[in-house]
Amino acid sequence: MKKLVALVAALSAVFAYADNYPSKTISIVVPFAAGGPTDRVARDLAEAMRKPLGDVTIVVDNVLGAGSSIGSNRVAKAAPDGYTILLNHIAMATMPNLLRNMPFKVESDFEYLGMINEVPMTVIARPTMPAKNFKEFREWLNAHKGKVNLGNAGIGSASHLCGLMFQNALQIDMTAIPYKGTAPAMVDLMGGQIDLMCDQTTNTTAQIEAKKVIAYGVTTSKRLTTPVLKDLPTLQEDGLKGFDVSIWHGLYAPKGTPPDVVAKINRALKLALKDPDFIKKQEALGAVIINDKRVEPAEHKKFVAAEIAKWSPVIAAAKEYID
């Protein structure tokens, strides 16, 4: 009987807690640099989720380094109360195979909150690159073998993966220059300190439009519809057979976050994904808002598990690891 009373008391505490949620500032941890593409998604989403969560303040906290594992680990170890959540991309599926000393488990240390969007990538180069189109760019890369600098956001990042696939497809080795996000990499690319980068359109669209970088191709199998990017050829059109990469983003809470709190965040996410202002901002940057069952936590989890399986052989073949 005593046990039953204790159980009922514990359960009512959980429900009372969820009733009051959220009653203070929520922090969305972004494991890449401020001003970059993951940060862009988080800031737009924070704004769109604020109202559905009762006008609560939502801040973005950039916790950088080690291919997003430092920020992700911070959330895996945070109090499971719904006030510290993670927004990360495809790195959730690459980290388990890349990190030799993985400090957390992607599949069991988080509550999955739902997916947000998919974002194509673009191959871009410094503004002084002499090539006028992809054919000439390829010739330039071939002529400068051993001297080409390729920026990325660290091992396991989207730009790293895309860069690896690009080098593989062209059969040209390049020197990877890692940054803590593609925002700082973009600054060096515009300044001509590095030669090229493959990055999400959420970071590259404005710079392409302003002609601060030169775009040579888009990584998806179909051309994009975004006005600024619609004339960019796909890498497949340029002869890179089967090249098809899009980067997805999702939200995660620490394992043990009460189910009612998970449900409240998921509901706010779903409302945000229908918010015309959020959709407009994201679509202008080439992002595609998730509009299928992957907004459900269980489906999100299944999708990430499938992505881990999909990327595992690519990573094994690249033989690059984080110690």
Residues that bind ligand ASP (CB under 6 A): 32-33, 36-39, 152-153, 157-159, 181-183, 199-200, 203
Of the two residues 197 and 295, which places its CB atom closer to ligand ASP in the complex? Answer: 197
Quote the CA–CA distance of 309 and 4 in Å, as a whole number.
43
Count of beta carbons in the 10 Å neighbourhood of residue 312:
15
CA–CA distance, 158 with 279 (Å, rounded to integer): 22
By DSSP bridging, strand 175-178 and strand 149-152 are parallel
Q: Which is nearer to ligand ASP, 185 or 262 (CB)?
A: 185
Q: How far is CA 29 from CA 34, 74, 302, 304, in A?
A: 11, 8, 22, 19
Best CA proximity match to 60, nearest among 73, 76, 71: 71
Find the shortest distance in angstroms from Cβ 312 to ligand ASP.
18
Min dist CB 214 to ligand ASP, Å, is 18
**CB 117 to ligand ASP: min, Å:** 13
CB of 205 to ligand ASP, least distance (A): 13
**CB 92 to ligand ASP: min, Å:** 11
Cβ-based neighbours of 251, under 8 Å, separated by 6 or more:
28, 45, 85, 86, 87, 112, 113, 114, 115, 116, 265, 269
If the CB atoms of residues 44 and 80 are measured against ligand ASP, the closer one turns out to be 44
C-alpha to C-alpha distance for 253 and 52, rounded to whole angstroms: 18
Spell out the alpha helix ranges (H) of the chain.
2-20, 37-50, 69-76, 91-98, 134-143, 158-170, 182-190, 201-209, 259-273, 276-284, 297-318
Min separation Cβ 33 and ligand ASP, Å:
5
Cα pseudo-dihedral 182, 187, 189, 193, rounded to 10: -120
Nearest to ligand ASP of 21, 195 (CB atom): 195
Q: With respect to ligand ASP, which residue has the nearer C-beta, 196 or 261?
A: 196
Nearer to ligand ASP by C-beta: 97 or 203? 203
Q: How many CB atoms lie within 10 A of CB 14?
A: 13
Of 159 and 266, the one with the shorter C-beta distance to ligand ASP is 159
Residue number, 58 or 150, with CB nearest to ligand ASP: 150
Of residues 36 and 114, the one with the C-beta less far from ligand ASP? 36
In the complex, the smallest distance separating the C-beta of residue 154 from ligand ASP, rounded to whole angstroms, is: 8
Least distance in angstroms from the C-beta of 245 to ligand ASP = 11
> Measured from the CB of residue 38, what is the shortest distance to ligand ASP in angstroms?
3
The b/e string for 175-203 (b: 16+ C-beta within 10 A; e otherwise) is ebbebbbbbbbbebbbeeebbbbbbbbbb
Smallest Cα–Cα separation from 73: which of 106, 107, 120, 98? 106
